[in-house]
């Protein structure tokens, strides 16, 4: 079972244009889609589509349309008392795959709301194969929320994956090794922000990415899955480092691709696959998601895992 926490969920509304986005101009919209989303929610969707049980903890009213959407999709949603309405995030996609995101902050939370979320996770974490803490934090939440929750999760057991950015990510890194998760999933820009590397270099050079990620392994993190967009992903563990190149993909929308990659890795781990095959499955999921509109999560039948090329980056790793 995969347990997910999405502290700042959103209604993801995607507007697809039939031409290039031009500031200050009137545009014709080709299509509009709307879906209950957020990083953890997306991972729970992917789990359900792969017949993996998942529980999604979200701050929302029990009768909110957001919760009903998740329940209708077959997701075991466990809502906790929210601070306000679920926010709306807007994504604008262009025909060439260029994506522009407009994310709203969400309602400001109080310590009570944060503790309700934490308790909902803590009481279920020991029965989960993985607990995933994912996404941004709502207004009013301290940047240390994930780091603090990780310390508490260590007391109840179970493995923890974290996918966040900006201040919460930096706070997590600052709290290492006490807050070290079993898996971190930064992208190249995020990895550069706290390792001192150059973001463009990391995005284009897998060996540089592996060297930067190795810093996190040395500080107690169990594994680092660094996603590099069109350049695939790098996996670093104490045993080695690998790079996976994605199959040829016509990019439609990159929204949710990172979430799909993270789920692919978790699915590979649950299946008992070795590190290189976990990485291949992660990249297969991410590339499949990039070829789908909006925040659509790929089905297992849409994967092209056999076209993912995995190479060893460090001695000791095996493909």
Compute the radius of gyration of the chain from its Cα atoms: 19
Among 225, 214, 313, 301, smallest CA distance to 266 is for 225
- β-bridge pairing 233-237 and 224-227: antiparallel
Q: Count CB neighbours of 211 within 10 A.
A: 18
- Residue 296 to residues 46, 56, 151, 274, 291, Cα–Cα distance (Å): 9, 17, 33, 27, 9
Question: Can you read off the two tokens belonging to residue 172?
Answer: 């997590």
- Residue 263 to residues 25, 45, 178, Cα–Cα distance (Å): 38, 10, 25
The helix-helix angle for 145-156 and 166-174 (nearest 10°) equals 50
- Residue 151 to residues 55, 87, 203, Cα–Cα distance (Å): 21, 28, 31
Helix spans in the chain (H): 39-49, 65-72, 111-122, 145-156, 166-174, 188-195, 199-204, 206-218, 257-270, 275-290
For residue 214, the Cα-to-chain-centroid distance in whole angstroms is: 20
Q: Count CB neighbours of 154 within 10 A.
A: 15
Q: Exactly one of 64, 163, 205, 259 is catalytic; which is it?
A: 259
Number of residues in the chain: 319
Q: Is 174 a catalytic residue?
A: no
Rounded CA-CA distance 107/15 in Å is 23
Catalytic residue IDs:
259
């Amino acid at each position: 079972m995969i347990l997910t926490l999405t502290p700042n969920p959103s209604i993801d509304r995607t507007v697809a244009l039939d031409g290039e986005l031009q500031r200050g101009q009137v545009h014709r919209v080709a299509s509009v889609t709307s879906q209950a989303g957020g990083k953890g929610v997306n991972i729970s969707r992917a789990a359900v589509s792969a017949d993996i049980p998942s529980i999604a903890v979200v701050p929302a009213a029990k009768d909110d349309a957001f919760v009903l959407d998740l329940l209708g999709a077959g997701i075991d949603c466990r809502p906790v008392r929210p601070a306000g309405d679920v926010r709306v995030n807007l994504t604008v996609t262009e025909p060439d795959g260029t994506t522009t995101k407009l994310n709203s902050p969400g309602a400001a939370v109080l310590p009570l709301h944060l503790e309700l979320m934490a308790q909902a996770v803590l009481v279920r974490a020991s029965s989960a194969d993985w607990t995933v803490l994912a996404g941004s934090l709502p207004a009013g939440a301290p940047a240390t929320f994930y780091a603090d929750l990780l310390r508490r999760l260590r007391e109840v057991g179970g493995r923890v994956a974290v996918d966040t950015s900006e201040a919460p990510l930096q706070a997590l890194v600052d709290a290492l090794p006490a807050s070290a998760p079993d898996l971190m999933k930064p992208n190249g820009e995020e990895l550069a922000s706290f390792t001192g590397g150059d973001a463009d270099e990391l995005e284009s050079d897998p060996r540089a990415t592996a060297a930067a990620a190795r810093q996190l392994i040395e500080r107690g993190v169990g594994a680092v899955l660094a996603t590099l967009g069109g350049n695939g992903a790098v996996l670093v563990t104490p045993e080695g480092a690998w790079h996976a190149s994605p199959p040829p993909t016509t990019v439609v929308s990159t929204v949710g691709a990172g979430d799909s990659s993270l789920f692919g890795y978790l699915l590979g781990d649950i299946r008992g696959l070795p590190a290189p095959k976990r990485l291949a499955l992660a990249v297969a999921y991410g590339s499949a998601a990039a070829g789908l509109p909006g925040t659509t999560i790929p089905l297992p039948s849409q994967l092209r895992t056999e076209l993912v090329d995995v190479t060893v980056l460090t001695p000791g790793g095996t493909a």
